[in-house]
Amino acid sequence: MNILYAEGDNPIEWNCSEWRCRIPTKAINDHTEEHNAVEMYIGEWDQQGTAAAATSKWADIIVVQRIITEHILAVVQHYRMLGKTIVLDLDDAYDCMPENVAAYPYWHKGMFNVNGHLHKLNYLPIDMLNAGAKLFDAITTPSRIIQQDWGKFVPADKVYYIPNYIDIARYDVNQRQPHDDIVVGWGGSHSHLSSFLDSKVVEGVEKAFKVDQRLRLLLAGGDARVLKLLHLDPNRIKMQPWVPPLEWPKVLARFDIGLIPLAGEYDKRRSWIKAMEYAAMKIPFVTNSAVAEQQYGVFMQYGKAIRSSAAQWRDAILELAANRDELQIEAAYQEAQRQDINNNIESVVAVYQQIIDSRS
């Protein structure tokens, strides 16, 4: 099978395409004998230049990551008429995206920025997505809840669950070095402000820091809006700018306790990436996910699920800080090893084969 991934992220905002396209591409090419994969930025694929057209004709299945425009739909229809199987991959709940998410103006107002200049589309991308999704052969997603959501708008048997699998070789637990302070850490994109505003984690962290003077906070990803919410001694906070995916595990290795604050319907549909990464690095974590067991499974052996209250955040952080040396939950760590992309790439390809077979 030949697979073409049309990636939705550009290099400046590179994030989800690493998990949904690049990691599978490498695993397919390195660890399967009968399958091949190529990744290409969707803006290049959309233009259908010589390389994009040749690769599209070579591919048995084309996976389009999240972006739909009128022209992209025309290209999709063209290749479907030529017998190609075209899949739409959706890793986010764009319909319930909070207004403070950086991508909200694009999806819900059609506004986008090019070199500092604001432009407006003559359509709303969220409307184009909802209408255009029906023209694909299938939808894939790393969220069971998103799978259920889309199963109400397109035939449910055309929506497939493909988890975000981890490239475990990047995560060397031996990178974690002993130190006197206790680092409470979080890392993410500019789509998590509501997670901090509405989960009570800010108040909980502040309360915990008043009790345990060893605690330090490391915020990774560069969203300064989160920093402004916290009333802490500046000497106890560090901001870590965005780093490329290959460098991220080194930042993660500095964490002693991980945070997964969640709030609202949008966050409920996030995948298991943070919990899996924490487990891979043997980092205990706290989350207020209302569906923690469903989302994170055995990874929760490293986690504490709490309600969205400042007192519970405080107590959970302090408990983990007091007992961090005793937390050796091997089952969660081994589960992260089992979710390595190289152990699961054949199951990913099997889903693609099932989608291709469903056309006939």
Q: Does residue 153 sit in the same domain as residue 109?
A: yes
pLDDT score of 304: 86
Q: Does residue 138 sit in the same domain as residue 210?
A: no
Max Cα separation, the chain?
65
Q: Does residue 158 sit in the same domain as residue 219?
A: no
pLDDT score of 328: 60
Q: Does residue 117 sit in the same domain as residue 179?
A: no
Q: Does residue 220 sit in the same domain as residue 332?
A: yes
- Contact call for residues 52 and 64 (beta carbons, < 8 A): no
Q: Does residue 312 sit in the same domain as residue 206?
A: yes
Confidence check: pLDDT of 326 > 70: no
Tally of domains in the chain: 2
pLDDT score of 157: 96
pLDDT score of 327: 62
Q: Does residue 49 sit in the same domain as residue 183?
A: no
Phi and psi angles of residue 212, each rounded to the nearest 5 degrees, phi first: -115, 110
How confident is the prediction for the chain on average, in pLDDT? 93
Q: Which of 155-159, 257-261, 295-299, 350-354 has the least mean pLDDT?
A: 295-299
Closest CA to 204 of 116, 356, 309, 274: 309
pLDDT in tens, 88-111: 999 999 999 999 998 999 999 999
Q: What is the average pLDDT across 289-315?
A: 85
Q: Does residue 197 sit in the same domain as residue 101?
A: no
pLDDT score of 290: 75
Q: At 198, which amino acid appears?
A: D
pLDDT in tens, 222-250: 788 888 899 999 999 999 998 999 999 99
Confidence check: pLDDT of 133 > 80: yes
Q: Does residue 122 sit in the same domain as residue 204?
A: no
The pTM of the whole model exceeds 0.85: yes
Q: At 64, which amino acid appears?
A: V
* Token output for 284: 């205990």
pLDDT in tens, 169-216: 999 988 888 888 999 999 988 888 899 999 999 999 999 999 999 999
Rounded to 5°, angle at Cα 285 from 281 and 286: 165
Q: Does residue 40 sit in the same domain as residue 30?
A: yes
State the CATH number of the domain containing residue 122.
Answer: 3.40.50.2000
Q: Does residue 142 sit in the same domain as residue 224?
A: no
pLDDT in tens, 25-72: 999 999 999 999 999 999 999 999 999 999 999 999 999 999 999 999
Residue 94's domain comprises: 2-165+340-359
Q: Does residue 223 sit in the same domain as residue 321?
A: yes
